[in-house]
């Protein structure tokens, strides 16, 4: 038996905005106050620590139903998180610093009379998300897990995006960052190996070409970032239909494909996800969907963010997309989202490094 979490077709925004991180101490598992080690584990992975009885019961079923939900708007099924089950005996010093941990326990103690699930930071490692659920019986534990399903998904997803953002900032393209400040008055942090593909007065296209190994062969992976503006004339410009219409018009004009007459557009056979959000204190909207090359065979997922710039009176849209036909795309899209959400409407120029004195 499993307890179903309250999912619906528009729950992605609720997942993000219902997430609240609870504070926790920064000591090690032994209670010492020395510096915590760095996190380990693959991006998008969640270690679930519980007995085999819990894993095979209602609580384990509920965990699998929550984290096995399809990640939003990808061209094929990928779960929100990949689960690794460990028994408490196997949860040793190697596993404890893992980036994402969910520990579940059934016991009859004073602290388990009321089922609970709590979310902490940095219990065993830096930037770790550590969640603990406990109850007297499996059904009560399953209900506690289901009640916190959106909090858990939101906290874990945002943590993964922030981890990608931190990595990009360690090796960012300062040339593009400064050019964006001077050209459009915005800041965007993109990887060092990104390059301009096109830069016009009201449109920019930043391209990143990668090569990844799979099956003994190298395969191309592309990530791209698109920036465009428009005058803000009414609230209706924030509607889903207005955003899609503007997106398709801009892409048809500016993003051509590899074959003559091909251009990027929105794949409407899969309905995009649209949310109105608060972004860095201001009103914004998010689109998640699939793109395709009209008159060609390319396609993949995209994430688009539109916000209002009070200084210029313009709507600014930044979006990112991925093209990785031989690979799963969930983590590529988390990386893209990290770059898009680095958008800053009050930027400063990055100071150039001074040459060292001989």
Which is higher by pLDDT, 10 or 121? 121
Express each pLDDT in 185-240 by its tens digit: 999 999 999 999 999 999 999 999 999 988 889 999 999 999 999 999 999 999 99
Q: Is 15 exposed, middle or buried (0-12, 13-18, 19+ CB in 10 A)?
A: buried
Which is higher by pLDDT, 90 or 348? 90
Question: What 3-state DSSP class applies to 191?
Answer: strand
| Model pLDDT, residue 37 | 78
Q: Tell which residue, 117, 105, 103, has the closest CA to residue 147.
A: 117
326 φ/ψ angles, rounded to the nearest 5 degrees: -100, 5
Express each pLDDT in 229-274 by its tens digit: 999 999 999 999 999 999 999 999 999 999 999 999 999 999 999 9
| Model pLDDT, residue 34 | 55
| Model pLDDT, residue 14 | 53
| Model pLDDT, residue 6 | 43
- C-alpha 187, offset from chain centre: 19
Q: What is the DSSP letter of 202?
A: S
A 10 A CB-CB count for 110 gives 5
Q: Regarding the domain with residue range 172-340, which homologous superfamily does it belong to in the CATH classification?
A: Mog1/PsbP, alpha/beta/alpha sandwich (3.40.1000.10)
- Mean pLDDT, residues 35-48 taken together: 88
What's the half-sphere exposure (Cβ side, CA atoms, 13 Å) at 237?
Answer: 18
Contact yes or no for 83/95 (Cβ under 8 A):
no
- Is it the case that residue 1 has pLDDT exceeding 70? no
What's the pTM? 0.87
3-state helix/strand/coil string of 76-144: CCCECCEEEEECHHHCCCCCCCECEEEEEEECCCHHHCCCEEEEEECCCCCCCEEEEEEECCHHHHHHH
pLDDT band at 170 (very low <50, low <70, confident <90, very high): very high
Q: What is the distance in angstroms between the CA of the first residue and the CA of the last residue of the chain? A: 71
Mean pLDDT of the chain: 89
Cβ within 8 Å of residue 327, ≥6 positions away? 212, 214, 219, 221
User: What is the percent of the chain where pLDDT is above 90?
Assistant: 81
pLDDT band at 31 (very low <50, low <70, confident <90, very high): very low
| Model pLDDT, residue 346 | 82
Locate the domains of the chain by residue range.
Answer: 11-166, 172-340
What span, in angstroms and rounded, lies between the C-alpha atoms of 55 and 29? 24
What span, in angstroms and rounded, lies between the C-alpha atoms of 179 and 352? 13
Which is higher by pLDDT, 149 or 4? 149
């Amino acid at each position: 038996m499993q307890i179903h979490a309250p999912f619906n077709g528009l729950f992605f925004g609720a997942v993000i905005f219902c997430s609240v991180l609870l504070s926790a101490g920064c000591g090690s598992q032994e209670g010492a106050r020395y510096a915590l080690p760095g996190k380990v584990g693959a991006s998008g992975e969640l270690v679930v620590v519980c007995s085999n009885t819990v894993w095979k019961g209602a609580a384990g079923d509920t965990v699998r139903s929550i984290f096995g939900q399809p990640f939003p708007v990808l061209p094929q099924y990928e779960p929100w998180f990949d689960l690794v089950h460990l028994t408490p005996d196997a949860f040793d010093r190697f596993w404890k610093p893992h980036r994402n941990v969910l520990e579940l326990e059934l016991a009859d103690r004073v602290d388990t009379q009321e089922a609970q699930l709590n979310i902490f930071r940095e219990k065993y490692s830096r930037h770790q998300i550590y969640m603990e659920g406990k109850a007297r019986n499996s059904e009560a534990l399953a209900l506690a897990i289901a009640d916190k399903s959106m909090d858990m998904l939101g906290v874990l997803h945002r943590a993964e995006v922030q981890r990608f953002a931190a990595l990009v900032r360690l090796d960012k393209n300062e040339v593009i960052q400064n050019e964006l400040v001077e050209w459009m008055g915005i800041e965007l942090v993109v990887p060092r190996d990104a390059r301009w593909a096109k830069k016009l007065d009201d449109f920019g296209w930043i391209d990143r070409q990668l090569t990844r190994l799979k099956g003994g062969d190298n395969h191309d992976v592309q990530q791209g970032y698109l920036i465009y503006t428009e005058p803000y004339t009414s609230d209706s410009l924030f509607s889903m239909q207005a955003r899609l219409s503007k997106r398709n018009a801009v892409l048809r004009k500016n993003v051509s494909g590899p074959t003559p007459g091909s251009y990027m557009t929105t794949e409407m056979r899969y309905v995009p996800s649209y949310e109105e959000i608060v972004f860095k204190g201001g009103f914004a909207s998010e689109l998640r969907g699939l793109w395709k090359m009209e008159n060609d065979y390319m396609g993949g997922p995209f994430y688009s963010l539109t916000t209002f710039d009070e200084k210029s009176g313009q709507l600014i849209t930044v979006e990112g997309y991925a093209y990785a036909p031989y690979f799963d795309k969930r983590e590529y899209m988390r990386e893209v989202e990290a770059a898009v959400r680095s958008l800053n409407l009050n930027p400063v120029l990055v100071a150039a490094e001074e040459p060292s004195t001989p």
